[in-house]
Amino acid sequence: MSGGSYLVFATCVALATFVQNLTGFAFSLILLGLVGVLRLASIHDAANAATVLTLVNAAVYFRQRGLQPGWRVMKPAIPASWLGVGLGVAALHWLSAHAVEGLRMLLGLAILVCAILLLRRGPPLPQVSRPRSFALIGGLSGLLGGLFSSAGPPLVYLMYRQPLARELVQQCLILMFALNALLRLALVLAGGDFSREALLLSACAVPVVYAVNTLQHRHPLRLDLRKTQLLVGALLLLTGALLLGNGLAALK
């Protein structure tokens, strides 16, 4: 990658961080979607960099705001989510070696599903879902997290339907994505799959994550929940459609 490409990547990170801290999700989906569309790096390297940046973003987010993560709410989802992460990392290794364009299209499909679920969100549930629902959705989210460092679609849909405060929902989502990222990073490092390119991508973007968090903490943007969801959903729809279109074009 050239110096200009790293600058573009850092800009994509800034946008992803901004949206993540507004909604509690979409960091990796937006970052990987933009990287895939712009072809700045391989999906594999970008996913590994996104894993590191997800951890950095969560650490800065909670530290600057003095918040406590929602451990109690998310406890049933954590074991199943970690199992899903392990399966997803194994699937990513095989897909990266045998089906690069298929992997790109699968990412595009995951982004579209996330956008549709968000835009068609149903009314809040009368009470918090049972632990087995959190476990099932946690497993599905972990699988996507292992594949793309993007555990959003199932978990976002579940959490935004819970009768919980918006701020708590955001904190729970950021917590889960950070936990998945921690396990994913350990598995990637243990397998020797963290390349020099992924390290450079992470290093150039860490200051951006810190700067965007600081700016948002000092000057928070006040949007109501539905406007935020519509904005993010539209961006995800566009990114996912472009990825699918590029993948189909490459197969012709």
The domain tally of the chain equals 1
Distance CA 210, CA 233 (A): 25
- Return the number of other C-beta atoms located less than 10 Å from residue 113's C-beta: 17
pLDDT of residue 204: 93
Q: Which domain holds residue 96?
A: 3-251
What are the tens digits of pLDDT across the range 149-183?
A: 666 777 877 887 888 887 888 888 888 888 888 98
Where does the pLDDT of residue 32 fall: very low under 50, low under 70, confident under 90, or very high at 90 and above?
confident
pLDDT in tens, 189-222: 998 889 999 999 999 999 999 999 999 989 888 7
Long-range contacts, 162-170 (Cβ 8 Å, 24+): 162/73, 162/124, 162/125, 162/128, 162/129, 163/124, 163/125, 163/126, 163/127, 163/128, 164/73, 164/128, 166/225, 168/70, 168/73, 169/24, 170/23, 170/24
Q: What is the mean pLDDT of the segment spanning 32-41?
A: 86
- Distance, in Å, from the CA atom of 236 to the CA atom of 30, rounded to the nearest integer, reads 7
pLDDT at 210: 95
- pTM for this one? 0.79
Residue 122: predicted pLDDT: 63
For range 63-79, the mean pLDDT: 81
